[in-house]
Amino acid sequence: MTEYCKRGYLLVSEIGEKPSEERLRQKKVAFIECPQEIPCNACVHSCKFDAVLMDNINAPPKMDYDACTGCMRCIRVCPGLAIFMLEIKDDMGRVTMPYEFLPVPEKGETVKLLNREGKEVGEGTVTWVLPPERNEGTALVTVEMNKDLIYEVRAFRVV
Ligand code: SF4
Ligand code: SF4
């Protein structure tokens, strides 16, 4: 069994190739954290821009960051909640995450940022919400935070 399976989460050092900061400042981009060989390619089929690449149905997906338009179709269909949207805007980081808890936060709300281990690493501000009833039961929430945290924060807690 791989180390991340035993641990239960990926370290930042294990998440693969990242988009450049220049790309992150252009517009939001999908960032996929799906290293396991599983028979799933919903992300590939959802993308109309050939930005998600896969050698075969069991291979982990890879991203062409230049091809990604930030349309968010892939994050809406991923059954593994393994896709995040990342962006740097006005020198602040923005992470869009799937969220399956209640209550769903509202735009403008302050939330506690949680890292990959579930530890609090600061506070963020909700800038966008797609409610669960409009996305097959899973909310999507964008949280603004220090840009240095966009690869650390993978969850949040409503306060
Ligand atoms: S955000 Fe849109 S363009 Fe980018 S990888 Fe996902 S589906 Fe493709
Ligand atoms: S849809 Fe999600 S779980 Fe399936 S291969 Fe793509 S990233 Fe992985």
User: How far apart are the C-alpha atoms of 126 and 64, rounded to whole Å?
Assistant: 27
| Any atom of ligand 1 within 6 Å of the Cβ of 46 | yes
Lining ligand 2 with CB less than 6 A are: 32, 34, 40-43, 61, 78-80, 82-83
Give per-residue pLDDT as tens, 12-28: 999 989 999 999 999 99
pTM: 0.96
User: How far apart are the C-alpha atoms of 60 and 20, rounded to whole Å?
Assistant: 21
Segment 123-148 mean pLDDT:
97
| Any atom of ligand 1 within 6 Å of the Cβ of 32 | no
Q: 1 C-alpha vs ligand 1 centroid, how far in Å?
A: 31
| Residue length of the chain | 159
Segment 2-10 mean pLDDT:
91
Closest CA to ligand 1's atom 4? 68
Segment 53-80 mean pLDDT:
97
Closest CA to ligand 2's atom 8? 34
User: How far apart are the C-alpha atoms of 86 and 30, rounded to whole Å?
Assistant: 6
Q: Let me know if 89 is exposed, middle or buried by CB neighbors in 10 A (0-12, 13-18, 19+).
A: middle
